[in-house]
Structure 1
Amino acid sequence: MTTREDILERLAYADALGHGPQTSALIAEAVSWADALGDEDLRIAARLALTEAYQQGNEAWKALAPFVWNLGRYQRHPEAFDDAQVRTLHWHFKWAVAVAGANPRVSKDKVRQLEASLEEFYRAEGASMHVVHGERASVAGLLGLEEEAAEELAAWRATHRDENADCEGCDPMRQVAFAYRTEAWELAVATAVPVLTGAVGCNVQPQTTQSLALLPLLASGRPRAAWEAHLRSYREIRRSPKALISLSYHLEYLALVGRVDRGLEILRRHLPWLAQAESAYVLLSALRGMSLVLREAERAGRGEEALGVEVPAADLWYPLPGLEASTTISRVYAEMTGWARRLAQQFDTRNGNSTISDHLERSLARAAFDAAPGAVHGLGVEVDLLEPSEELPEPAQTSLTVNEDGAEPDVASLLGLVADDNGLVQEHAPRTTSSSQEGAGRRARAGRTATSHQGGDEPFPLVDLVRPRPVRNGEEAVRRYVDHRRTIGSSTMDYWYVVDQVATRDLLPPIGEEIPGLEYHTGLLRAAAMTCRTEMDEAIAERLRIRPLIELAFGPLGAYYVDLLNLDNEITADSIAERSQDAVRDQRLQRATSLIGQIEAQVEDLVSTELLDPGGTDTLVLAADALLVGASVLTDLHAKDEALGAIQVVARAADAVPEDRHAERMDDILDMARAEVLAECGDVYNGCLLAEEVMRRHEKVSPVLAARGRRLLGISSMEVGQFDEAIAQFREQANIMLAAGITLYAVASLLSLGSALEASERYLESAEVLESALSLAQRSGAESIALYLHRLLAQTGMAMGEEESVAEHSLNAARILQDQGRRALAGEYLSHAAMAASNLKDNVRAAALFRQAADLEDTRTDQGRLDRGRALRRSARALVDDLTLPMARARLDEARQIMEEARQAFAGVADTEGYSSAWEIGDWHDDMAWILWRTGQNWQAVQHCESAYDGYMDTEDRDSASRALCMLARLHAERGERDQALAACARVRDLLGEPHWDGHDALEFVASVEETLR
């Protein structure tokens, strides 16, 4: 039979678990147990907990039943409730009123009855009317009575706050919401200022207010502040379905600033939340925000594009029939706006007015804003980073009191409004805050950043960018590629675009179905696309397949060209896989110089010919491009002189062919290549000088030279720690690629930018940039690039303390690494994910992930057996690191089994110079002691502490040995064994008695134990 202790344990576990449907279900079961037991105290406590769980767990409507039960009990038996429970009841009552108002199925009369009961309850308890007026103001808005809302807000501000009021960060949201609905933008911003500036906050602030203030910030002429609020708040809300209403404001904002891609991505990510809306009003808000994004997507010409994800079916607040993933954006837009309008009509019917529908129509018809951050600029979307925000107004007051003469305050003045000469209420723009020295400094720095480069030089020339024409099909892609192959330095913007289109759209015909006569060209293009996707092994194999064909056309030169391209891919593949190249460098250098020498000899023969025939010109063009590839290979191998020599031979070849066979001006192409050689081979200063000089030669710089130059300057700036300069360069490089619509090149640029931002500790911006790159890479199916991005994002998540992100990206990285056969590195990322799960208090998941990491170890080696044993020990520790002691104890037997498996894993590993089996078994005992302590088995843990100490001291590892003795002291102290605990403390002091141990953590710990035992 369930006992009182069982119920208390269940409530304690649920409290530690955090809010959500799982927690609510556990507490609901505890309520049924308490009812069956007939324990009145537990029946009250369990229902208070259930009401709280429903309210905080996105199921607020379910909270009404347990709340009404408790309210009835309190009214009949107030003595059954202690003071803390009465205060909780106050909070639950105000929430109940809000829940009723947000759902049109609750009649207006019923809502009014709840309001009256709330006032009666608060007055009877001697509470301030501040909460009552605040709830009435919010409910009046839901009833479509904005004048009443204004009056109640005035009264709310005229009454003092007490312990029943929302915190200082949340309370002003009532006025921000009113100003949002009535489009009093300046008032909304002024009211939100204390939260926006970080002066006040709580666990749901500032992100909730930042979300609500997005449109007011934008409409009041503060686009930079709005962009920052969007970035910061979306990261905080994006994993909580309870934040659906906040998400709706983000979607509205993104639609109105033209960020269609980002808006669609976020919409698709969160569509399942529609079925979890906690009220009809939240659902209406979400439908409105999503409709605006779909409207802008349709206007951008994407109406016939499939939405790509299912619209969930739901019927809790309104019958949403659901839509297939194949449904077009235009149809989803039409359906969603229809749902929103019909749901708004339900509010109108309940309210007896059309205010809710009127607000919806104004929102759906609102025009997009011009020149907002992230909007489409000319040919593409720019990368927007955080910049100093516009000035905010002085905070609007939210705590006025009755005038000293006893007169009630004027409603309009309390709302920050003033009447004009005709008595009409106009919005008053509060004064802006005075410019602080810090703010002035930030603006000045921003100005310099926008207009300067490299220590104050003039800005670079504009980029002469014309977006390449679309590629209709595979045949067109091949023919355009062939045209580019006719010129030296064929890497033009259109060349990059064609390769990128093939890489992202899989345009080419299957092998064996190529255009007759263009077989090897198709193979080279396919290999170039694979290289773009960082699929180096596949690219190498494809070139080897067509090597005989190009050799047939050009003789040995064709084979040399293929071999150099493949050598370049080999080096890149090793770099991506983080393999050391030291052992193969000399051999690769010999291969490269041999191939290049033979090509150079052929060039010399051709250029000495008085009159080249067309075949000779084609051969020279191929030879020149092969030498440019060779120069890149030599640069990777740090053979500067040889690389520069190869470029010089390219110049001789270029002089011998007509200018119409040059992709661009050859002096520009070759000097940029020289700059890259210099910078990457250690002569950073001269390399950067030359790159800058090339970029400044013309009134408008070609996009290819601009992108290459920006990349070079960015990499060089990173090498010397000039991260701000690197950020500026990589940002411009990314802007060029985004404007041209060259997806995977844009991904590479964004990856560089994200890395620079992380190095500069601008983690929020880094995460946003890298996530944008990841989205592009995933849409293109580029798994290898996605892997690198997942790894970077896991690292950034660690820096930001975003454990969910660490777990998500580490698991994705581990999956891809396993698919690639890189088991050891996959195990590392599984361990990262396990640690994140542990930090999120999900110990069972953490234990499972550590087990998966252990299973990836190569037990054919001693190191693999050791690593497997250590991962298993971490799994066992995680398993018992549960939220409550009873839950931990329930898993002790399983943990013991895992620990025994861990010991067997390294049992046969022999001692070496760097490894002690005695130390390893001591470390095992240390973990076992911790597991037993965590499960309340202190006495059993004592001997394991002694064994751990002995093992550590086998190698004179006093640091680890002190940890074992500290645990011993803890165990005795918790058992009330004062003398033994003090003896263990004395052993620590003796162990760490030398002066160099002063300040050690173990000494500080035993000092605290000794203080406690005195």
Structure 2
Amino acid sequence: MPTAPHPQNTDELYQALQDNDRRPYGRTRTVTAEELVDAAEQFAEPRPLAHALLALQKAYHYGSEPRKSPVVFARVLTLFDEQPDAFDERLRHTLFWRFKWVAGALLALPEIPLAGLRQWLTEMRDRYEKAGLELQPYYGQAYQLAAHVGEDADLAYELWAGRARTRLSDCEACEICERARHHLAAGDDERALRTWESVLAGQESCQEEPARSVSYALLPLLRTGGADRARELHLAGYRGCRRNPSMSGEIGRHLEFCALTGNEARGLELLAENRNLFDEVESPLDQLSFLTGTEVLLQRVESLGHGGLPAAGYPGRTWTVAGLRAEIRGRADDLAARFDARNGTTAHTDRRSARLDRAPLLDALELTLRTRGLDDVAPAAVPAAARTAAPVPESLPELITRARKSAAEGHPDATAQWARLRTLATAPDYVHPDDPAAGPFARLRADLLADEAGRLGEKDLFDEAAARYEEAAGLYDDAAEPGRAAVSRASALLAAAQIAPQDADEAEARAAALTDAHASMVRLHEAAGDLAPYQEARLLRLRATVLGLRFQASRDEEHVEPVLAEVERLEEFAVRHDIAGQISGALLLRAGTHALCGDLPAAVSATDALVDRLRAHGPAWHLPHAFGLRGRIRLGLRDAQAAHADLTEALRLAAEWPADAVGTARLHGDLAQTCMRLGRPDEALRHLTRSAELELRHGSRLDAFCTYSNAAQLSLELGRVEDCIALLDSLLAEPDVAAGEVDDRLVAQLRLSRARALHAGEDLKAATAEYAALAAESAGWDDDPASHAMIAAETAVLLAEAGEFGRAREAADQALAAHARTPRYEQLSNCLRELARLQAQQQGAEGLADALALLADAGRIADEARAAGYEAGGRDLDSALAYEHGRVNAYAGEYETALTALEEALTLLGEPGSESGAGAGSESGADDKDHVGEWAECVRLAAVMEGLYLERPAPALARLDAAVARLGALGHTEETEPLASLAARLRDED
């Protein structure tokens, strides 16, 4: 099926070629290029055909199809020989440039004899000499052949590198890479890195640079102590080549880098992201490089005992690490042998062996914000083992007894014990022991259901938890365990009461449900007989908890005393029966209730008492909770330093227990908040990412993605753009995200953060594509037009930055339509003003009419905001609009109009320190400083219009001198500097 309309004339052909050139390299671009060659052949003119053929060769070259590139070029060369006058200077330059492409393509094909490669280089030399061209590019290709074969490379290097560059030489960045690689092959890492410096710093670049150089420089940097630099370059460099078939060798080197720095899990993640390369890379030389890098990674993973992990590989079957490694080894060995047979050396086999024989260069290098180990990428069905859990007994009756005892005590080891029992009891060959200690199978099934229900409740899956508890209660009845049945039914009541109500007044409905649940629990408790002390304590704890949740939902002070009464009842009973876990539970509830009441000093006193008791009497696993609660309370008291100390101690103690049992994820989250209060954002970022990964590991995926989203935003605010992008790429590659199983709005938020990061990283092409896709998707969010307005507005600004003002206007109109449903006054005003500024700045007088139309829309929004009584959080909409009228007209050369608009803006702003000045009387020093800065800039621009462009220096100087005097009297000396500088310039010119 054709991918584009068939051009009917040469103008349409050239337009189609231009449109196709904007497409990313890949199958669609290549097929379209092939169709355009067919279309060009219908015209009698040779020049359009030459353009189409060269475009097709480019698609093959960058689409990793080296077998097809020389064939197309042969047609171009024949056309040149037959009709040289059809080739203008540009086409002729391109023709001679592409000789190098053909040399590279032939080099990548082991079926091309060595004599054929040399014959082509001879052809290139003869053609260059006949055309009167310098031979440095020829010697560059001769060196590349020598380096590839592994013979006489030093001599070939001197013949090439000693010659001056010409117009047909490879770009500076590519030549730097070749020189650095030569030094690298000689074992001189330091010299290679010095040679590479300008490319790695971004001073030299091209289509494939610096991504190619980065991939080669990673290991030398590690060997010379530049681990931090290697990390930075890995993040940026990988993004420049991922999924690109023509850069599969670079991907292989990034995978190798992961394998040699303790980042095997990230390596597998990147391999999965690039699984298309197994199917799309047509170049045997690129295949060899990619497969060898992949094998280095898989070999390392297998050596660490994880050969059974799933791995992304060739399409058509499911692969494990070990299976894929064996497949790759055979294919790569064959490719290396074919190249060596063609070349008559062992260079490729030797280089491949050297890569596979490298030992890890670092035990661990934190490459991304999302640090993961191989255990984290194991199948989700395998539960994470507790780091310090007691050994699980081998005897089944003993295991059952131990698990029940741990559960009764609330001991963290219960998690691993129940997990082991669940695995055993659900096996097809399970036989329940005939042992009084184990009890009937119905009781074990009930125990497992109750444990599962508890974990579902922790994930807020209350409807499922309630159902499991009820089912467990029935089985306990069958097993003649009325006490356990009562506890399960009370737990079911608590879970059911927490199911999100559909009522309009959610808080009131939730409080009512919890009130009913408490009444039912009391009746259940009173009717229950034959309760063991720990079961009765558990019922009392549930009664206190449900009332605590009711107060939390209602914040009604009348609900406080009932909570404290239940807590008193629980504490008295637990003390009388010496149930340590429930005593501390009562103290935790009391402290939490005081905190919810706003009595934070009392809450601190209660947690002090709790910590003292736990240290003296235990249980030790409650200490992380106690320190965590006290840390949160102290944070509420604005004592961030003390909160940090408590939360740090909580984390230290939590390390002794399984993370899910002591709330380690929450502790990291609380520490992140505390670190932000203390002005330590980098430390906060570490805690956020650790919190998120723990949430993800324990199945709380929604919470984890939300936390990671916050981490991404913080990393962007810290200027860690590549960290932000790598984190978001990792999350968006998660299987359930890719499959559309995660909330679409949350995924959209992650993608929006990624688009913003790409924009901040100046990758405008990728950012624009992501923004445009999000704008199209969010247009269908009928329930959330405000979000669509925000996305469309940001998209419009980005398109305008790229000079695509027509598309920018379309996106702005989408934003305006959404704004009409749910107003976003400030955001839309900011967007429209920025669009107007960009259009006037880039197009001058030609863009003035469109810019003024945008400002007119911004004016209507300012009118709407004023009528609605809306107050902007940032700049005043009216004064900002007047200022933008000034700038837009100035860009278009309408200086009188610009000056009039700026004077209006100054009137609206009001002079600093006056009663009419914006921010006058404000308690915020920041607001005042912002107003002063805005006013001073407006004065400066008005003086530029008046004094420089309108050539009226006297009034301009009067304006500046008055402003400097006023600002100086108010102590704003910093803002006076640009005004004084402009005044001095005007006086000098006068």
Contact kept? 2:306, 2:374, Cα under 8 Å: no
Letter in 2 for 1:293: L
Contact kept? 1:807, 1:834, Cα under 8 Å: no
Q: 1:984 to 1:346 in 2, by over 3 A?
A: farther
Letter in 2 for 1:564: G
Please say if 1:114 is aligned against 2:108.
no
- Could you tell me how far 1:117 is from its partner in structure 2? 0.9
Contact kept? 1:248, 1:289, Cα under 8 Å: yes
Partner Cα separation in structure 2 for residue 49 and residue 623 of structure 1: 78
Query: Corresponding residue for 1:98?
Result: 104
- Could you tell me how far 1:93 is from its partner in structure 2? 1.1
Contact kept? 1:211, 1:249, Cα under 8 Å: yes
Query: Corresponding residue for 1:722?
Result: 680
Query: Corresponding residue for 1:800?
Result: 761
Query: Corresponding residue for 2:637?
Result: 681
Please say if 1:825 is aligned against 2:787.
yes
- Could you tell me how far 1:104 is from its partner in structure 2? 2.9
Query: Corresponding residue for 2:542?
Result: 558
- Could you tell me how far 1:270 is from its partner in structure 2? 1.5
Q: 1:877 to 1:118 in 2, by over 3 A?
A: same
Q: Which moved more, 1:732-741 or 1:264-273?
A: 732-741
Query: Corresponding residue for 1:203?
Result: 205
Q: 1:903 to 1:601 in 2, by over 3 A?
A: same
Query: Corresponding residue for 1:356?
Result: 348
Q: Find the partner of 2:70 among 47, 64, 69.
A: 64
Q: 1:819 to 1:596 in 2, by over 3 A?
A: farther
Q: How does 1:133-282 map to 2 (within 5 A)?
A: 133-142=139-148, 145-177=149-181, 184=186, 186-187=187-188, 190-196=191-197, 198=200, 201-204=203-206, 205-218=209-222, 223-238=227-242, 240-277=244-281, 279-282=283-286
Partner Cα separation in structure 2 for residue 715 and residue 665 of structure 1: 24
Please say if 1:647 is aligned against 2:607.
yes
Q: 1:869 to 1:191 in 2, by over 3 A?
A: closer
Give 5+ residue unaligned stretches, structure 1. 312-321, 384-463, 531-535, 571-586, 967-981, 1002-1014
Letter in 1 for 2:196: V
Deviations 1:341-395 (A, max 9, x none): 444454455445554355445545655555142599xx97499xxxxxxxxxxxx
Q: Find the partner of 2:363 among 365, 368, 371.
A: 371
Query: Corresponding residue for 1:334?
Result: 326
Give 5+ residue unaligned stretches, structure 2. 1-6, 376-385, 420-451, 474-487, 501-505, 526-538, 911-933, 942-948, 965-974, 979-990
Q: 1:913 to 1:835 in 2, by over 3 A?
A: closer
* TM-score (normalised: structure 1): 0.63
Deviations 1:646-669 (A, max 9, x none): 5367579979xx94xx44176675
Partner Cα separation in structure 1 for residue 418 and residue 550 of structure 2: 19
Query: Corresponding residue for 1:445?
Result: none
Letter in 2 for 1:588: R
Q: Find the partner of 2:94 among 88, 94, 113.
A: 88
Contact kept? 2:752, 2:771, Cα under 8 Å: yes
Deviations 1:648-691 (A, max 9, x none): 67579979xx94xx441766753453233112331223333555
Partner Cα separation in structure 2 for residue 471 and residue 551 of structure 1: 38
Partner Cα separation in structure 1 for residue 654 and residue 49 of structure 2: 81
- Could you tell me how far 1:135 is from its partner in structure 2? 1.2
Q: Which moved more, 1:707-716 or 1:165-174?
A: 707-716
Query: Corresponding residue for 2:485?
Result: none
Contact kept? 1:19, 1:57, Cα under 8 Å: yes
Q: 1:45 to 1:818 in 2, by over 3 A?
A: closer
Q: How does 1:507-586 map to 2 (within 5 A)?
A: 512-514=467-469, 516-517=472-473, 518=488, 558-562=542-546, 564-565=548-549
- Could you tell me how far 1:98 is from its partner in structure 2? 0.7
Partner Cα separation in structure 2 for residue 2 and residue 876 of structure 1: 38
- Could you tell me how far 1:169 is from its partner in structure 2? 2.6
Q: Which moved more, 1:25-34 or 1:297-306?
A: 25-34
Deviations 1:383-418 (A, max 9, x none): 9xxxxxxxxxxxxxxxxxxxxxxxxxxxxxxxxxxx
Letter in 1 for 2:557: Q
Q: 1:231 to 1:600 in 2, by over 3 A?
A: same
Contact kept? 2:256, 2:296, Cα under 8 Å: yes
Deviations 1:286-312 (A, max 9, x none): 23333443444444555444447x74x
- Could you tell me how far 1:171 is from its partner in structure 2? 0.9
Query: Corresponding residue for 1:392?
Result: none
- Could you tell me how far 1:77 is from its partner in structure 2? 5.9
Please say if 1:466 is aligned against 2:450.
no
Deviations 1:564-610 (A, max 9, x none): 34776x7xxxxxxxxxxxxxxxx6263774454334443565478x5
Contact kept? 1:488, 1:663, Cα under 8 Å: no
Number of equivalenced pairs: 851
> Alignment partner of 2:821: what SS?
coil
Partner Cα separation in structure 1 for residue 654 and residue 837 of structure 2: 65
Query: Corresponding residue for 2:557?
Result: 590
Query: Corresponding residue for 1:411?
Result: none
Deviations 1:76-121 (A, max 9, x none): 6656545554433332111211111112343433322211111222
Q: How does 1:900-939 map to 2 (within 5 A)?
A: 911=867
Query: Corresponding residue for 1:29?
Result: 36
Letter in 2 for 1:123: E
- Could you tell me how far 1:234 is from its partner in structure 2? 1.2
Contact kept? 1:189, 1:213, Cα under 8 Å: no
Partner Cα separation in structure 2 for residue 985 and residue 158 of structure 1: 59
Partner Cα separation in structure 1 for residue 324 and residue 652 of structure 2: 49
> Alignment partner of 1:214: what SS?
helix
Q: Find the partner of 1:123 among 121, 126, 129.
A: 129
Letter in 2 for 1:676: R
Q: 1:983 to 1:37 in 2, by over 3 A?
A: farther
Partner Cα separation in structure 2 for residue 471 and residue 925 of structure 1: 78
Q: 1:211 to 1:81 in 2, by over 3 A?
A: same
Partner Cα separation in structure 1 for residue 42 and residue 655 of structure 2: 83
Deviations 1:181-206 (A, max 9, x none): x6x5x335532433246467433433
Partner Cα separation in structure 1 for residue 310 and residue 36 of structure 2: 44
> Alignment partner of 1:36: what SS?
coil
Q: 1:490 to 1:362 in 2, by over 3 A?
A: closer
> Alignment partner of 2:173: what SS?
coil
Contact kept? 1:706, 1:733, Cα under 8 Å: yes
Contact kept? 1:804, 1:836, Cα under 8 Å: no
Q: Which moved more, 1:255-264 or 1:704-713?
A: 704-713
> Alignment partner of 1:824: what SS?
helix
Q: 1:276 to 1:679 in 2, by over 3 A?
A: same
Partner Cα separation in structure 2 for residue 541 and residue 170 of structure 1: 69
- Could you tell me how far 1:848 is from its partner in structure 2? 7.0
Partner Cα separation in structure 2 for residue 511 and residue 699 of structure 1: 31
- Could you tell me how far 1:267 is from its partner in structure 2? 1.2
Q: Percent identity?
A: 19
Q: Which moved more, 1:17-26 or 1:555-564?
A: 17-26
Q: Find the partner of 1:625 among 575, 578, 585.
A: 585
Contact kept? 2:457, 2:465, Cα under 8 Å: no
Partner Cα separation in structure 1 for residue 399 and residue 16 of structure 2: 65
Query: Corresponding residue for 2:293?
Result: 289
Q: 1:98 to 1:705 in 2, by over 3 A?
A: same
Q: 1:190 to 1:259 in 2, by over 3 A?
A: same
Q: 1:78 to 1:786 in 2, by over 3 A?
A: closer
Partner Cα separation in structure 2 for residue 689 and residue 69 of structure 1: 74
> Alignment partner of 2:43: what SS?
helix
Q: 1:353 to 1:15 in 2, by over 3 A?
A: same
Q: Find the partner of 1:38 among 45, 50, 58.
A: 45
Contact kept? 2:796, 2:811, Cα under 8 Å: yes
Q: 1:743 to 1:664 in 2, by over 3 A?
A: farther
Letter in 2 for 1:149: A
